[in-house]
Amino acid sequence: MSGLGLTKKYRTDKRANVSMIFALTMIPIIAVAGFAVDLQLAFSKKGKIQHSIDSAVLAGARMLQGTDSKSDVRKHTRAYFEAMTDGEGGGLTCDALAIEFVDDENIEASTTCYQPTTLSRVIGQERVKFTVEAAATYGISKLDVAFVFDISGSMGWGTKLWDLKVAAKDAADILLPEEGSAGEGEVRIAMVAYNSQVDAGDYFEEVTGLKPKRDYTAINNTRKRETYTEREEVCGVVCTKYRGNSNNCREWDYSCRVEDVEKTRWVDTQETVTKTLNSTCVWEREGEHAFSDVQPDQDNDRLNEVPESSWNASQTSNNSEGFLTAGYAYWDDDRDRWYTTGTSCLNVEPFPLDDDLDDVEDYIDDLYVNGGTAGHQGIEWGWYLISERWSDVFDGKSTPLAYDEPDSIKAMIIMTDGEFNQQFHNGQGDSVEQAKKLCDAIKQEDIVIYTVAFEAPPAGEEVLEYCASGVEFSFKASNGLELKKSYQSIAQSIADLRIKS
């Protein structure tokens, strides 16, 4: 074949063109696909880094509420960030966290991170770079928080009570700012402990309208054996003549005479009996205010004496005065004796709002256990302790913040290890039903509810899950270490609520 023919053949032969074209088009296809994969990976990493920097800035802002050392805050924030990003893998690296304090009110942080590419390397793209930022305002928010402790008998099993004391004190230490810090006095803690009842202590008169020491009276109907005398004719043989000066009778005769005779008989009697009761134990209240935080009537005339079987000083059937139910005494006419009910509370009265860590820890240390579990009573008292409507009962430095107080937060931490199984006013539902109604009302006031089920049965867990402000606010612990971690997480979460991120 001539050279002209070969040239013509090569020009017209197209069998290799497809392969060349395919090879040339694959490069941008691989580049685009690789870039998409690498970008998706980088975005995934960025989300995790964003969460880490947000958490680190919140931790720094939280620390700043307890110290004036900004250098310590920088160190703490960076260490927190590094701990959260450690082990991300995939070759991800980030620059050192840059931290700035703005106007003595804001903390800002940023970093640039680099994620090595995979397929994008074919076009020379060695890494994907992204920047993340976060800011938090650490201007102090006021906080009223109520701890509600279960001190029923089951809390005495093993080390449960000791575990609770360790965990609660640790949480209090996290929540309360250090003495002399910017946040001192802005966080206050209240506490109440319950078993089958609550000990109202020094607040008994104000919540029941009764005196702690009160007299109960009743009529005792009984039969008694009575001795009496009656004039009767008595006849018989009598001596009419004695022998000499002796007592020997010489002559006898039969005669009769009238004289006093002593007799006995049974008679029906009535007498007033009195029982003095000295107790500050209370149950839940009944009536129209059963599931509200209306303060009991503080203008009520105190009743020093109450009728038999009376458990409160309410003057109306619907208890419009809002009194709590008190322990009482009643007379059993069949057994001729007094009985008392509602005096089984432990001597652990409510602890009103306070910012003194030593006082808080002393209260926790003094907790002891016995009795049943009336969880709804603990819940209602936890609410009362931080309710703005109870300012006449808990006054002075313990006066609760108003619900609409600017830059303020109210929270409750409800803990139990058992089932809610004791109540007084059954017509209002059992303890679980009453607890749920109270929790509904509490959350209506924008109070944040955290719950901790400590080795609790399913029924106990269920009511706490219902009461919690959300899934993330409900905790379960099966041992002391988990309980401590739960309280730590709650304390950190509450502290974070005070920071506007």
Give residue 101's pLDDT: 86
Within this chain, do residues 332 and 435 fall inside the same structural domain, yes or no?
Answer: no
Predicted TM-score (pTM) of this structure: 0.73
Answer yes or no: do 311 and 372 share one domain.
no
* Segments forming the whole domain that contains residue 114: 17-137
**Helices 458-467 and 431-444: angle between axes, nearest 10 degrees:** 20
34 within domain boundaries? yes
Q: Tell whether 433 and 453 lie within a shared domain.
A: yes
At 257 the pLDDT is 83
Give the closest residue to 493 by CA, choosing from 471, 464, 467, 463: 471
Full pLDDT tens readout for the chain, 501 residues: 555 555 455 455 555 555 555 445 555 555 555 556 777 878 888 888 898 898 888 888 777 766 677 888 899 999 989 888 887 777 888 999 999 987 666 789 999 999 888 767 666 678 888 999 988 766 557 899 999 999 999 999 999 999 999 999 999 998 988 776 656 778 999 999 999 999 999 999 999 989 899 888 888 887 778 898 888 888 888 888 888 778 888 888 888 888 888 888 888 888 899 999 999 999 999 999 999 999 999 886 666 566 666 888 887 889 999 999 999 999 998 888 999 999 989 999 999 999 999 999 999 999 999 999 999 999 999 999 999 999 999 999 999 999 999 888 999 999 999 999 999 999 999 999 999 999 999 999 999 999 999 999 999 999 999 999 999 999 999 999 999 999 999 998 888 776 653
Same domain flag for 333 and 369 = no
Same domain? For 25 and 78 the reply is yes
Residues 250 and 305 placed together within one structural domain of the fold: yes
Decide if 46 is inside a domain. Answer: yes
Question: Is residue 9 in some structural domain?
Answer: no
Question: Does residue 4 belong to any structural domain of this protein?
Answer: no
pLDDT for res 22: 46
**In the 3-class helix/strand/coil scheme, how is 319-382 assigned residue by residue?**
CCCCCCCECEEEEECCCCEEEEECCCCCCCCCEEEECCHHHHHHHHHCCCCCCCCCHHHHHHHH
Which of 137, 172, 188 is the C-terminal boundary of a domain? 137
Same domain, residue pair 363 and 466: yes
Burial of 417 (0-12, 13-18, 19+ CB in 10 A): buried
Query: Domain count of the chain?
Result: 3
Of 137, 153, 178, the residue that ends a domain is: 137
User: In this structure, is residue 179 part of a structural domain?
Assistant: yes
Q: Are residues 360 and 318 in the same domain?
A: no
User: Quick one: 183 and 219 in the same domain?
Assistant: no
Q: Is 72 helix (H, G, I), strand (E, B) or coil?
A: helix
In a domain, 5, yes or no: no
Same domain, 365 and 284: no
Residue after which a domain boundary falls, among 341, 371, 403: 341
Domain-embedded: residue 10 = no
Domain assignment present for 8: no
Does 189 share its domain with 301? no
Q: Same domain for 170 and 253?
A: no
DSSP code of residue 201:
G
CATH number of the domain that residue 430 is part of: 3.40.50.410
